[in-house]
Structure 1
Amino acid sequence: MLFSRISKNLRNSFNGCRWFLSIGDHNHRFISSHNFHSPRDSTQQVVRRLFFSKSLPALHGSKYQIHHQSSSIVEDELDPFSLVADELSLLGNKLRAMVVAEVPKLASAAEYFFKMGVEGKRFRPTVLLLMSTALNLPIPKAPPPIELGGTLTAELRSRQQRIAEITEMIHVASLLHDDVLDDADTRRGIGSLNFVMGNKLAVLAGDFLLSRACVALASLKNTEVVSLLAKVVEHLVTGETMQMTTSSDQRCSMEYYLEKTYYKTASLISNSCKAIAILAGHTAEVAMLAFEYGKNLGLAFQLIDDVLDFTGTSASLGKGSLSDIRHGIVTAPILFAMEEFPQLRPIVEEGFENPANVDLALEYLGKSRGIQRTKELAVKHANLAAAAIDSLPESDDEDVRRSRRALIDLTHRVITRTK
Structure 2
Amino acid sequence: QQQQQQQQQQQQQLQQQKQHLSLLLQQHPGGAASSASVGGNGCIGGVVDAGGGIGSGGGISVSSGNSSSIIVGKRTTALFAAYAAPLFGGGTVATIGQPMAAGAGQIGAARSLFTACGASFIQPSSVVASCAGARVKAPVLGRASSTSVATSVSSLYERTQKATVTLQHPCMRGYSSVHTQQPAGPIREYNIDPYILLDDELKYIFEDIRQEISRATNHQELNKIAVYYFDGQGKAFRPMVAMLMAKALNYHMHNENSNIVNAQRQIAMISEMIHTASLVHDDVIDQSFARRGKPSVNVLWNHKKVTQAGDYILSVASMLLARLKHDEVTHILSQVLTDLVQGEFMQLGSKETENERFAHYFTKTYRKTASLIANSLKAVAVLSGADEQMAELSFQYGRNLGLAFQFVDDLLDFVSSSEAMGKPAAADLKLGLATAPVLFACEKFPELNPMILRRFREPGDVERAYELVHQSQGLEQTRFLARKHCIEALRLASQISESPYQKGLIVVGDFVLNRMK
TM-score (norm 1): 0.80
Instruction: Give the equivalent residue in structure 1 for 2:440.
Output: 336
Tell me how far 1:198 sits from its aligned partner: 1.8
Distance in 2, matches of 1:126 and 1:319, equals 23
354, 367, 375: which one aligns with 1:271? 375
Tell me how far 1:391 sits from its aligned partner: 1.8
Distance in 2, matches of 1:166 and 1:340, equals 43
Instruction: Give the equivalent residue in structure 2 for 1:151.
Output: 255
Instruction: Give the equivalent residue in structure 1 for 2:387.
Output: 283
Distance in 1, matches of 2:178 and 2:394, equals 21
**One-letter amino acid of the counterpart of residue 191, structure 2:** E
Tell whether the 8 Å contact from 1:9 to 1:391 is kept in structure 2 after alignment: no
**One-letter amino acid of the counterpart of residue 222, structure 1:** H
- Distance 1:363-1:50 versus aligned 2 partners, 3 A rule: farther
**One-letter amino acid of the counterpart of residue 91, structure 1:** I
Tell whether the 8 Å contact from 2:433 to 2:455 is kept in structure 1 after alignment: no
Tell whether the 8 Å contact from 1:186 to 1:318 is kept in structure 2 after alignment: yes
Instruction: Give the equivalent residue in structure 1 for 2:240.
Output: 126
User: Could you tell which deviates more after superposition, 90-99 or 338-347?
Assistant: 338-347
Tell me how far 1:340 sits from its aligned partner: 2.0
The answer to whether the aligner puts 1:172 opposite 2:270 as a matched pair is no
Instruction: Give the equivalent residue in structure 2 for 1:71.
Output: none
User: Map of 1:78-227 to 2, 5 A cutoff?
Assistant: 78-100=192-214, 101-116=217-232, 118=233, 120-137=234-251, 139=253, 150-227=254-331
Instruction: Give the equivalent residue in structure 2 for 1:35.
Output: 164
Distance in 2, matches of 1:344 and 1:293, equals 34
Deviations 1:239-291 (A, max 9, x none): 01011133333796212101110000000000000000001111000001100
- Distance 1:134-1:167 versus aligned 2 partners, 3 A rule: same
322, 344, 352: which one aligns with 1:248? 352
- Distance 1:51-1:129 versus aligned 2 partners, 3 A rule: same
Tell whether the 8 Å contact from 1:36 to 1:255 is kept in structure 2 after alignment: no
**One-letter amino acid of the counterpart of residue 202, structure 2:** L
Distance in 2, matches of 1:156 and 1:351, equals 47
Tell whether the 8 Å contact from 1:9 to 1:387 is kept in structure 2 after alignment: no
Where does structure 2 lack aligned partners over 5 or more consecutive residues?
1-14, 23-113, 123-159
SS of aligned partner of 1:236? helix
Instruction: Give the equivalent residue in structure 1 for 2:491.
Output: 387
Tell whether the 8 Å contact from 2:248 to 2:502 is kept in structure 1 after alignment: yes
Instruction: Give the equivalent residue in structure 2 for 1:411.
Output: 509
- Distance 1:404-1:13 versus aligned 2 partners, 3 A rule: farther
**One-letter amino acid of the counterpart of residue 124, structure 1:** R
Tell whether the 8 Å contact from 2:182 to 2:491 is kept in structure 1 after alignment: no
SS of aligned partner of 2:443? helix
Distance in 1, matches of 2:246 and 2:180, equals 33
TM-score (norm 2): 0.65
Tell me how far 1:409 sits from its aligned partner: 0.7
Deviations 1:186-217 (A, max 9, x none): 11111111111121121111101000000000
Count of matched residue pairs: 364
Tell whether the 8 Å contact from 1:180 to 1:202 is kept in structure 2 after alignment: yes
Tell whether the 8 Å contact from 1:252 to 1:335 is kept in structure 2 after alignment: no
Deviations 1:292-319 (A, max 9, x none): 1100000000000011001100000000
Instruction: Give the equivalent residue in structure 2 for 1:350.
Output: 454
**One-letter amino acid of the counterpart of residue 417, structure 1:** R
Tell me how far 1:349 sits from its aligned partner: 1.9
**One-letter amino acid of the counterpart of residue 381, structure 1:** H
444, 462, 467: which one aligns with 1:363? 467
Instruction: Give the equivalent residue in structure 1 for 2:68.
Output: none
Tell whether the 8 Å contact from 1:129 to 1:160 is kept in structure 2 after alignment: yes
User: Map of 1:320-335 to 2, 5 A cutoff?
Assistant: 320-335=424-439
Distance in 2, matches of 1:274 and 1:47, equals 15
Distance in 1, matches of 2:117 and 2:200, equals 38
- Distance 1:33-1:283 versus aligned 2 partners, 3 A rule: farther
- Distance 1:408-1:78 versus aligned 2 partners, 3 A rule: same
- Distance 1:282-1:57 versus aligned 2 partners, 3 A rule: closer
Tell me how far 1:49 sits from its aligned partner: 6.2
Distance in 2, matches of 1:48 and 1:391, equals 16
More helix by share: 1
Tell whether the 8 Å contact from 1:337 to 1:364 is kept in structure 2 after alignment: yes
495, 500, 504: which one aligns with 1:402? 500
Tell whether the 8 Å contact from 1:130 to 1:407 is kept in structure 2 after alignment: yes
Tell whether the 8 Å contact from 1:228 to 1:271 is kept in structure 2 after alignment: yes
Distance in 2, matches of 1:290 and 1:134, equals 10
Instruction: Give the equivalent residue in structure 1 for 2:34.
Output: none
**One-letter amino acid of the counterpart of residue 328, structure 1:** G
Instruction: Give the equivalent residue in structure 1 for 2:154.
Output: none
Tell whether the 8 Å contact from 2:351 to 2:360 is kept in structure 1 after alignment: no
Deviations 1:22-72 (A, max 9, x none): xxxxxxxxx99873459xxxxxxx999668999956652xxx43xxxxxxx
Distance in 1, matches of 2:409 and 2:341, equals 20
SS of aligned partner of 1:135? helix
The answer to whether the aligner puts 1:310 opposite 2:411 as a matched pair is no
Where does structure 1 lack aligned partners over 5 or more consecutive residues?
17-30, 39-45, 66-73, 140-149, 396-400
Tell whether the 8 Å contact from 1:15 to 1:55 is kept in structure 2 after alignment: no
The structure with the larger Rg is 2
Distance in 1, matches of 2:463 and 2:421, equals 21
**What is the root-mean-square deviation in Å for CA atoms of aligned residues?**
3.0
User: Map of 1:28-67 to 2, 5 A cutoff?
Assistant: 35-36=164-165, 60=186, 64-65=187-188
